[in-house]
Amino acid sequence: MSTQLTLDLTLKHQREQRQIIQDESWLDASDIARGIGFTMPVLISDNLNEALQHSQNEIDDNYDQRLCDCLWCAQFQLSLDQSQSTTFHFAFPRPGWKTEEVAEISLPVRAVVEKQVVLVGLWPDFSAAV
């Protein structure tokens, strides 16, 4: 005797997730991170956010691209190491405004999977958070 499977395609409200870190120095980047492959909520530190921001000298605002690239590196390193934390250097070019010189900015970044959330920030940010 065969049994027919039925699918329940009714939309269910996503359970509201409480923020694990109550500190205001962590910002929600889950929407961007979901497109990169993260399945858990992702928080970035305020310090990392500021380091990736557009500087006054720059002609173009490359913040979104820098954030995506940094989160992609974090996802790649976590999946490569198959661990709960990883550290890496994230480097990006920062062009000058009046000169044609391009400075290479290198940030020491750490990514940690902690209590159903991924924290991505600069190394010093983790002394108080984790």
Kindly report, residue by residue over 105-130, the tens digit of the pLDDT: 899 999 999 889 999 999 998 875 54
Q: Is 112 exposed, middle or buried (0-12, 13-18, 19+ CB in 10 A)?
A: buried
pTM: 0.74
Would you place residue 103 in the very low, low, confident or very high pLDDT band (cuts 50, 70, 90)?
Answer: confident
Instruction: Return the H-helix or E-strand segment holding 115.
Output: none
For 33, phi then psi, to 5°, come to: -65, -30
pLDDT in tens, 11-36: 544 444 444 455 568 999 999 999 99
Q: Which whole number is the average pLDDT over 63-86?
A: 91
Please indicate, yes or no, if residue 14 is contained in any of the structural domains: no
Smallest CA-to-CA distance from 67 within 40, 119, 32, 100 is with 32
42: pLDDT strictly greater than 70: yes
Please indicate, yes or no, if residue 45 is contained in any of the structural domains: yes
Please indicate, yes or no, if residue 9 is contained in any of the structural domains: no
* Structural domains of the chain, count: 1
State which residues form the domain around 53.
26-94+103-129
Smallest CA-to-CA distance from 29 within 49, 13, 14 is with 49
